[in-house]
Amino acid sequence: MIRPLAFSDIPAVARWVIPHAHVIGIAEEAKKVPFDYLTKLIGACHKSGTSFVSVDKNNDIQGIVLGITEPNVWIPTNYDLTMLCLYATDCSGGRLFLQFDKVAKQKLKDGRINSVRLSKLIGKTNIDFAKRGYTADEIIYTRR
């Protein structure tokens, strides 16, 4: 079941994020992130109203999509919604994205945000964002 991220979910999501950081290649670094920092970040995502969890019948988290609304770096009067994380251990990743996208479209329509930004992990994400109306504006390169 997909549902909005609840305030009471924040500690569980923070605990859930660290073991799954290997997906983006930061498993060792993630272990060093203070738990209170993670809970504050996830709290900001909760406040944005664009974060959702997938839970099983026992209400255990199986997937998350975290979105955060922030001022645009270049135009501080504009607000961007950024998808920080989309990860699922089951088949709910697509449904999580669709729920995020539905809310993002409404926020754009209402003028509460100016753009939606998301990234795609090479070889890890099967969702075709272009098919869903997104354009690739840049490619981000990483050196570790």
Q: Considering just the CA atoms, what is the radius of gyration of the chain in Å?
A: 15
Q: DSSP letters of 71-119?
A: E-SS-TTSEEEEEEEEEESSTTHHHHHHHHHHHHHHHHHHTS-SEEE--
Using one digit for the tens of pLDDT, what is the confidence trace for 62-97?
Answer: 999 999 999 999 999 999 999 988 888 888 888 999
Using one digit for the tens of pLDDT, what is the confidence trace for 11-66?
Answer: 999 888 776 665 666 666 767 778 888 899 999 999 999 999 999 999 899 999 99
CA-CA-CA-CA dihedral for 90, 91, 95, 101, to nearest 10: 80
Fold topology of 2-132:
Aminopeptidase (3.40.630)
Domain boundaries along the sequence of the chain: 2-132
Q: 26 near 49, Cβ under 8 Å?
A: no
Largest distance between two CA atoms of the chain: 44
Provide the 3-class DSSP secondary structure of residue 36.
helix
The model carries a pTM of: 0.86
Q: Which two tokens stand for residue 46?
A: 């909760």
Q: Tokens 């997937």 identify what position?
A: 63
Using one digit for the tens of pLDDT, what is the confidence trace for 7-16?
Answer: 999 999 988 8
